[in-house]
Amino acid sequence: MKHEQFTTTARSLREDSLPYRLFQKAKKFGVWDPKEIDFSQDVLDWQTLSESQRQGTLRTLSQFQAGEEAVTLDLLPLVMTIAKEGRLEEELYLTSFLFEEAKHTEFFRLLLTALGVTEDLGKYHTNTYRSLFYDMLPETMNRLLVDQSPEALADASVLYNMFVEGVLAETGYWSFQQGLDKMGKMPGLMKGIGYLKSDESRHIGYGTFLLQRLICEHPHLFDRIAKRMQELEPIAAAITQEAQAGDMASPFDIPPDAARQFSMRQLQVRMDVLKRAVGKSIDEIYRTPEHMVGVIQ
C-alpha cells in the first residue's frame, strides 16, 4: 500500500479532532511509571488481610494481570487497520494507547512480585473468563489482519473498548474500591488503579469515538453494535457469578448481586453514549468534547 500524502501538504493535522485531543491528554496525564509506585505499605497490609480476603484479592489481581496482558498483545491489529486507512490523528493517539496498556501489564506484575506471589494464578480464570480472553478477544482482534471491513472494525471495538475496558475493567476497579479502598488498605495498588482509570477513560473515549464514527459513516452498523452488546451481557453476568461461586464469594461484605448490577449499568451507559451518534454529522463526531465520552483527564 502506497502513501498518498503527508502532513507536509495543506492537510496538516486536524487539531480539533477528538483523537488528537486524546493524544494531548495522554502526553500530559499518561506518563507515569509503575516502577515509581511504592508497594511497601501494600506488603504490610497484605499480612493483615484474612486468608479469604487475600484469595479474593488474588482472584481479581489475576484477572486484571491476564486481562491487561491480553489487551496489550491483541491491540496491534487495530493500530494497523487505522494506520492503513491513513487516519493519522487516530494512529497518533493509538501509539499512546498501546504504551499505556503495556504499563498496566507491568504494574500488576510488579505488585504481585512485591507481594511475593509466585503461584500459578490461572486457577482463578474461570471457564467464561478463559473463553473471552484466551479465545474470543484474540480471534476478534486478529480478524482485522485479514478483514478491515467496517463490520470487523466495529466488532473489534465493541469487544475491546466497550466490553473488556468499559464494562469488565470498570467493574474490577469498582470491586477494589468497595473492598480494599474502603478498608484503607494497599495504597500502592489504589494509586495505580487511579492511574489506570484515567488511562482507560481515554481508551474507552477513543473506542466510543471510533464506533460513533463508524455509525455515522455506515448507519446500518448501529443495529449490529447494539445486538453485539446484548450478546455480551450474559458473559459479564457469568464472569461475576463464577467468581463468586462457593468459597470464592466476596470476602469484603460486598452484596452478592452488587457487582453484576454495576456491570449491567455499565453496559447500558455504553449504549446510551453510542446512541448519540445517530443523526449526527461526521464533523460533530470529530468535535465531540472529551467529557461526553467519559474521559476523566
Q: Summarize pLDDT for 247-295 with one digit per residue, the tens.
A: 455 677 787 688 888 988 999 999 999 998 999 999 999 999 999 999 9
pLDDT value of residue 9: 55
Report if residue 101 sits inside a domain: yes
Residue that has been written with the C-alpha cell 506484575 in this structure: 109
Report if residue 14 sits inside a domain: no
Report if residue 19 sits inside a domain: no
- Number of independent structural domains in the chain: 1
pLDDT value of residue 54: 94
The pTM is what? 0.93
Contact 60, 175 (CB under 8 A): yes
Report if residue 162 sits inside a domain: yes
Q: Which domain holds residue 84?
A: 33-284
- Rounded CA-CA distance 223/4 in Å is 33
**pLDDT over 90 (residue 106):** yes
**How many other β-carbons are positioned within 10 Å of the β-carbon of residue 50?**
10
Q: Give tens-digit pLDDT for 135-166.
A: 999 999 999 999 999 999 999 999 999 999 99
**CATH number of the domain enclosing 203:** 1.10.620.20
**pLDDT over 70 (residue 7):** no
10 CB-near residues (< 8 Å, 6+ apart): none
pLDDT value of residue 254: 81
Report if residue 227 sits inside a domain: yes
Q: Give tens-digit pLDDT for 158-213.
A: 999 999 999 999 999 998 999 999 999 999 999 999 999 999 999 999 999 999 99
pLDDT band at 49 (very low <50, low <70, confident <90, very high): very high
What is the chain's mean pLDDT, rounded?
Answer: 92
**pLDDT over 70 (residue 11):** no
Report if residue 128 sits inside a domain: yes
Report if residue 171 sits inside a domain: yes
pLDDT band at 240 (very low <50, low <70, confident <90, very high): confident
Q: Give tens-digit pLDDT for 111-122.
A: 999 999 999 999
- Rounded CA-CA distance 16/9 in Å is 18
Report if residue 9 sits inside a domain: no
- Rounded CA-CA distance 147/251 in Å is 45
